[in-house]
Amino acid sequence: MNRSKVLKRICSPLISVFIFLPSLLGQTTNTFCEKLNDFGTFYENPESPGLQSTKLFLSYQHQVGHIDGTDKTGNAFDDSFEEFRRVWIGLTGKFANYWKFKVVSQISNDRNAYPNDYRQWGHETFRAANITFEADQFWEWEGIDSMSFGYGRRTGRMADEWQRSSTMINCLERSSFSNKLWLYDREKGNPLAAWVKWTAGKHSFDTAIFSGTYDDYIGGWEDSTTYYGSWLGDYSKGSSYEILEYWLSYYKQDGAITEDRLAGGNEWALSLVNRIGNGPWALHSTIAWGDNGDQATLEREGSFSGVVLMPMYWIKDEKLKIVVRYLYQQSDQPEGLKLNSRYIPLSDRRDTSIDLNDGRGDEQQAFYLGLNYYLCGEKLKLISGIQHDELKSEGETQFRGWTVGTSIRLWF
């Protein structure tokens, strides 16, 4: 199929809904955006000794995509997808002056892109379920700007693309390398943890212990344990840049191959993130190293490393942004990497005539070009992008091809 026709076919419906949504609701764009900003707030009473505020959280993302590529034998294939990428709903709030809570449930399980298509609705797992104590407000320590203790399910972030939540993402999908570093549980969710965070001047710290035990709800501590620490230095003030940040993160996982483990079993990972920006442009970069840990086969073990560079430019301030991303990752074993694309592995499952080696290899390069349109800032936006991937194993190409997609993203 002609690629321009594919683009038009999959993008047009979402663009129409996106542009005309405010008018469909009988409001001007400015009025709609103002209301959207505070839409979820339904209770506030700062003087209450009990519950002081509660806000509804919703993240809705509908996405379409198309793949055109060749497998390891040179067999050409193409496939199209349409899905409820995310439908999350939850509550956040504050109580008893120093305590906060956050509960977010994933209520969609869209397998429209899988064999035997179906869409399942209802609570699947918690994306977040935690409680935090604002210790700095209770004790008022000198030299500490903020400090909090927390317990519950949360994200273990390593790469720049995971430092921003899915609602604030710059690309259509996070890169394979950033997802490889992420501390995900057995069902690709956020695990249980206990942590301490604090900020002093330009320095912010986050130390946590994560459990590998998977559970649809809170979970326990029966399996692997991961020790995590990160430092963020914000040197923007006084520099020649509007944004100048460095972020160093590390984790070490202890757990047997027979236990539930995080990050696909990675034994350890170390990442360095840099963000610089001035006016309309910014450059975010991630460089990282790690070890796959014990795996079912030797070919999936060993060390890995990679780099992600993401320059961005505002064509029209706060409205239209162009995003470019380059990814390179490699491992010392022939299947030490997994092509963590949203759709390429799904094509492999849907079509038994193609062979992508289960999306595994030892070297990957990817180029992404995207255009984002912001109707209400990050609260309502349209993200579109095209990406070229090449995955190799021992010098032989396992996949080469293009992925194009568009997503409408709404949250409050």
Question: CA 91, CA 93: separation in Å to the nearest integer?
Answer: 7
Question: pLDDT tens for residues 62-92?
Answer: 999 999 999 999 999 998 888 888 999 999 9
For 215, other C-beta atoms within 10 Å of its C-beta total 19
| Predicted pLDDT at 126 | 86
pLDDT of residue 108: 83
pLDDT value at 1 more than 60 = no
In DSSP notation, 248-264 reads EEEEEEE--TTS--SGG
Higher pLDDT, 5 or 69: 69
Give the pLDDT of residue 116.
63
- 335 three-state secondary structure: coil
pLDDT for res 87:
93
Mean pLDDT of 178-183: 95
Domain ranges of the chain: 3-411
**For the chain, percent of residues with pLDDT exceeding 90:** 71
Mean pLDDT for 131-139 is: 94
User: Taking the alpha carbons of 367, 247, 340, 372 in that order, is the dihedral positive or negative?
Assistant: negative
User: Per-residue pLDDT for 113 more than 80?
Assistant: no
Which pair of tokens denotes residue 21?
């949504």
pLDDT at 207: 98
Q: Taking CA 170 as the corner, what is the angle to CA 389 and CA 326, rounded to the nearest 5 degrees?
A: 35
pLDDT tens for residues 384-394? 999 999 999 99
pLDDT digits (tens, 9 = 90+) for 279-334: 999 999 999 999 999 999 999 999 999 999 999 999 999 999 999 999 999 999 99
Rounded to whole angstroms, the maximal C-alpha distance in the chain is 68
Q: Bridge-partner residues for 67, per DSSP?
A: 79, 403
Token duo for residue 182: 């992420």
> Of 305, 399, 306, 389, nearest to 351 (Cα)?
399
pLDDT band with cut points at 50, 70 and 90 for residue 120 = confident
Distance CA(17)–CA(339), nearest Å, equals 32
215 pLDDT band, cuts 50/70/90, is confident
DSSP string, 126-155: EEEEEEEEEHHHHH--TT-SEEEEEEEE--
- The more confident residue out of 22 and 182 is 182
Q: Cβ neighbours of residue 178 under 8 Å, at least 6 residues apart? A: 158, 159, 160, 161, 162, 286, 308
- Give residue 11's identity as a one-letter amino acid code: C
Q: Which two tokens stand for residue 123?
A: 């609570």
Handedness of CA 207, 263, 339, 104 (dihedral sign): negative
Length of the chain: 412
Q: Which residues, in sequence order, are CB contacts of 199 under 8 Å at separation 6+?
A: 144, 145, 146, 147, 205
Instruction: Output the pLDDT for position 16.
Output: 54
Pairing of strands 51-70, 337-338: unpaired
What 3-state DSSP class applies to 409?
A: strand
CA separation (Å) from 189 to 36, 76, 82, 127, 328?
A: 27, 33, 21, 6, 25
Spatial separation of the C-alpha atoms in residues 101 and 55, rounded to whole Å: 10
Tokens of 158: 């390593």
Determine if the pTM surpasses 0.85: yes
DSSP three-state, residue 219: coil
pLDDT at 350: 81
The top-level CATH class assigned to 3-411 is mainly beta
Residue 145 region by backbone torsions, left for phi larger than 0, else alpha for psi between -120 and 50, else beta: alpha
pLDDT band at 383; cut points 50, 70, 90: very high
